């Protein structure tokens, strides 16, 4: 068990399911919805440690939290032990987080150009020094999220795990792809299994979980201590419960059936998420000095929530029409009325399917 990680809310005997850090997505609103549906632990968006030290409002607003979020990990990037340590102390002083995670896997050019993210991977000694410095600066557990290597001919994960263990890291989340793959392609479950077998710290498995069956497969083939879901949780918080149910089912039983959420439930969850997103924007403006060109909360939500809307409604009967107008909505009232029109079409489509169904 991961010391700072509460058990799976569905059942203490089931491995916990975590929400992965995703820049631009995993703000306090998405984290709160995910937690309500069973995510045992969630991560902030990626936060620049140096930006925190410069006391930049543009950086600090990423660490805003909302009531009811459950345990949250602050996810930082940086490459200098002293700066990461000072940032860890500042994060700890907020009292909002249960752990601090180091981004040692992001392959995006802007991040690696500064020696951060996956640029840390060939330097396990430096990763260890960062972990040790952060541990010395704050009592919070320090974890690392990384990948299996830079490319198939550069597997680096075993050296990284050893360095994190020696430095006293509390856990390691492993996106079982290579940095060269960015976010797609095969997930190296064999390497994940090898890492888990050797590791002395808890290993959190991540990458390619799109369904409950994928999570079960990852756990059975690798034995990881927890699973972490990224993209598949966007617009689908129900997935956390589905995974918990499937992990709790006996090995030889088929996964328990999970009916699609009904239209009223999709509406209620989407609306809760939207309300939280609006609340967050208001809170950010109350607590931080944003540039004068920053949008008002309604306009900001209309933009930042588009990607979530797209996911919640994807595959529903009215979604194509809704998508065509996604950029037209400028406030939450317009968004909800368009959502209602879309869900109405979906309800009609479902009613037609039911009435024409011949058993």
Ligand X SMILES: Cc1cc2nc3c(=O)[nH]c(=O)nc-3n(C[C@H](O)[C@H](O)[C@H](O)COP(=O)(O)O)c2cc1C
The binding site for ligand X (CB under 6 A) comprises 20-25, 45-46, 75, 103, 105-106, 145, 175, 183, 206-209, 229-232
106 noted as active-site residue: yes
Query: Shortest gap between Cβ of 344 and ligand X (angstroms)?
Result: 30
Q: Where are the beta strands (DSSP E) in 9-83?
A: 17-19, 41-48, 72-77
Query: Shortest gap between Cβ of 43 and ligand X (angstroms)?
Result: 8
Identify the residue whose tokens are 């309800």: 347
Query: Shortest gap between Cβ of 24 and ligand X (angstroms)?
Result: 6
Residue 351's CB is within 10 A of a number of other CB atoms, namely: 11
Residue 253's CB is within 10 A of a number of other CB atoms, namely: 8
- 131/110 Cα distance (integer angstroms): 23
Per DSSP bridges, beta strands 99-104 and 226-229 are unpaired
Query: Shortest gap between Cβ of 229 and ligand X (angstroms)?
Result: 5
46 or 216: whose CB is closer to ligand X?
A: 46
14 or 106: whose CB is closer to ligand X?
A: 106
Query: Shortest gap between Cβ of 99 and ligand X (angstroms)?
Result: 14
32 or 75: whose CB is closer to ligand X?
A: 75
Q: In the numeric block, which tokens belong to residue 121?
A: 């991977």
46 or 199: whose CB is closer to ligand X?
A: 46
Residue at shortest CB range from ligand X: 230
25 or 305: whose CB is closer to ligand X?
A: 25
**Which residue from 186, 177, 101 is spatially nearest to 145, judged by alpha carbons?**
101
Q: How far is CA 259 from CA 24, 74, 238, 239, 265, in A?
A: 30, 34, 10, 12, 12
3-state secondary structure of 223: coil
- 151/179 Cα distance (integer angstroms): 6
**Which residue from 60, 24, 22 is spatially nearest to 39, judged by alpha carbons?**
22
Find the catalytic residue in 106, 307, 327, 342. Answer: 106
Largest CA distance in the chain: 68
The set of catalytic residues is 106
């Amino acid at each position: 068990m991961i010391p700072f990680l509460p058990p799976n809310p569905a059942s203490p005997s089931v491995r916990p399911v975590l929400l992965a850090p995703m820049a631009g997505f995993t703000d306090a609103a998405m984290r709160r919805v995910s937690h309500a549906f069973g995510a045992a632990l969630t991560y902030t968006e990626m936060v620049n440690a140096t930006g925190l030290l410069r006391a930049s409002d543009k950086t600090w607003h990423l660490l805003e939290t909302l009531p009811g979020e459950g345990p949250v990990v602050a996810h930082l990037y940086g490459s200098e032990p002293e700066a990461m340590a000072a940032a860890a102390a500042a994060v700890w002083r907020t009292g909002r987080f249960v752990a601090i995670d180091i981004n040692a896997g992001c392959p995006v050019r802007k991040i690696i150009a500064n020696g951060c993210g996956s640029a840390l991977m060939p330097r396990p000694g430096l990763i260890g020094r960062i972990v040790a410095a952060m541990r010395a600066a704050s009592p919070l557990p320090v974890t690392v999220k990384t990948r299996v290597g830079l490319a198939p001919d550069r597997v680096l994960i075993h050296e990284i795990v050893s360095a994190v263990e020696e430095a006293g890291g509390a856990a390691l989340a492993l996106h079982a792809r290579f940095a060269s793959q960015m976010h797609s392609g095969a997930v190296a479950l064999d390497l994940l299994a090898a890492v888990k077998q050797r590791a002395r710290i808890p290993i959190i498995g991540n990458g390619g979980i799109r369904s409950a069956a994928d999570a079960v497969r990852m756990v059975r083939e690798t034995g990881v201590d927890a699973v972490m879901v990224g993209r598949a949780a966007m617009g689908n918080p129900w997935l956390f419960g589905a995974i918990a149910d499937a992990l709790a089912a006996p090995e030889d039983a088929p996964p328990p059936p999970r009916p699609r959420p009904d239209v009223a439930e999709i509406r209620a969850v989407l609306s809760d998420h939207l309300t939280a997103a609006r609340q967050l924007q208001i809170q950010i403006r109350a607590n931080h000095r944003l540039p004068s060109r920053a949008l008002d909360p309604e306009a900001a939500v209309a933009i930042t929530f588009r990607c979530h809307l797209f996911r919640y409604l994807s595959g529903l009967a009215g979604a194509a029409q809704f998508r065509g107008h996604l950029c037209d909505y400028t406030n939450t009232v317009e968004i909800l009325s368009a959502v209602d029109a879309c869900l109405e079409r979906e309800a009609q489509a479902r009613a037609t399917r039911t009435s024409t169904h011949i058993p």
